[in-house]
Structure 1
Amino acid sequence: MFNSVKSIALATGVSLAALSSAAFADEKVAFSAIDVSSSINAAQDANAMEYYPQITEDLKAAVAARVLGSDDASDPTINIDIRKISLDGDTMLSDSQEFNEIEGVVDITSPNESIGARSFPVNVAAYSVDQVVPEGYVAVAPTEGVFYEVMIDGFADEVAEQVGNLNTAGSGVSK
């Protein structure tokens, strides 16, 4: 009888531990700050920042609208570095100022090491149906006139999706 009770207690304890870790793993990560910068400059034969100096603030707002925010400074932060903006690979945008590719790197840092440091690339491209999207890019539907919003939203959506795969149980970004 005592062995039976021990087995039931052990099974209950294991089940509760599994359930609590599963619930903990599904817990959404809140972020205390979102910082967006650009390492694009004229020395790289790139002119996107001349046309879109507000892109870092626009991307920051778009990401903030998609992730859980926090006022707790000990929560993780999202740092985004925009590294390339181009039209079909050309970083010197034409007078139309249109672009269809944006590349960046996202770093997640956690002061209290609750999720550890994470880093991942985000590459978004808008191509018509008959064009091949470069490997490693997330495709968004191209549109006339509102391409800027589509590209910003596509980048922010991908950041939010990747961040949504983080959890406080310590597992990283996964697809």
Structure 2
Amino acid sequence: MQQAQAQGLPPATTGDITPEPVREGIDLIVNGERFRHTGDPLMPLLWYLRDVLRLTGTKLGDAHGEDGYDLVLVNGKAVSAIKRPMAKLVGARVTTVEGLAHADGSLHPLQQAFIDEDAIGCGYCTPGWLIAGIDLLTRKPKPTDEDIDKLPNRCRCGVQTRVRRAIKRAAGVKA
């Protein structure tokens, strides 16, 4: 004991050490990594992503998730992160805009198409457009203008025409 103190180590304890039990929580996978949310199960996914995980690509537009700024992929489908409480995400796979690029750093084809078509205005709506576009391309590999125009996204910068071209470029369809 004196030797431990001389080395600056805390004294050894006597008795049994009882580990704390694993905290109950909501397990989910975000961008390929496992996480456990142990807070309020009614917390919206948007706040968990932005405030807890510091993934700030997903944006808040209106509080009702009607503008497409807060879209993420949950089990491969685009959903509003402000409308989705953590309690409904047990075992879910969530992909945010930060998780779209490949492990080697290469961009998702739609990300590259957005760059190629200069489909970025101020950039606030871009993450939502990317998520909505990927969801659309998964459902309809060769989308029409009408399909793209039905996406829930809003843009105040006026890049909708370039977004349409980018989605079609990623689909291999001539715009």
Q: Do both share a fold (TM > 0.5)?
A: no
TM-score normalised per structure 2: 0.25
TM-score normalised per structure 1: 0.25
Structure with the largest fraction of strand: 1
